[in-house]
Amino acid sequence: EPEVTQTPSHQVTQMGQEVILRCVPISNHLYFYWYRQILGQKVEFLVSFYNNEISEKSEIFDDQFSVERPDGSNFTLKIRSTKLEDSAMYFCASSERLAGGGGELFFGEGSRLTVL
């Protein structure tokens, strides 16, 4: 069964360092997303991406964050200068149709980011 894969599963970094989280979405999906979940809290939307550009981003997704699809299979989230409050589980997801338009999201297992 097709699945979304994410690497690394866990990353520990020092405050101020750059982090890149990687994802391989399901191959025939067109829409890609990053969500995050701070321990014990809701799953929160960060950004959606379609046709090589951001289609929507949340207020959390500030200038410290960027996304890229460097080739035909990978989708990355970069955090330029990590802060303590960036510590969370980051989930990549993909869908055939746009999420808010009724498309079903399929999530990866997550990358746990710990900022010290």
Partner 1 sequence: EDQVTQSPEALRLQEGESSSLNCSYTVSGLRGLFWYRQDPGKGPEFLFTLYSAGEEKEKERLKATLTKKESFLHITAPKPEDSATYLCAVGGGSTLGRLYFGRGTQLTVWP
Selected binder of partner 1 within 21, 45, 86, 115 (CB under 8 A) = 45
d(CA 29, CA 94): 6
Q: Which is nearer to partner 1, 20 or 98 (CB)?
A: 98
Residues 6+ away with beta carbon under 8 Å from 66: 77, 78, 80
Residue 57 burial class via C-beta count within 10 angstroms: exposed 0-12, middle 13-18, buried 19 and up: middle
Binding mask 77-116 for partner 1 (x = CB under 8 A): ------------x-x------xxxxxxxxxxxxx-x----
Please give the residue ranges that form the binding site for partner 1 (CB under 8 A).
4, 31, 33, 41-45, 47-48, 55-56, 58, 89, 91, 98-110, 112
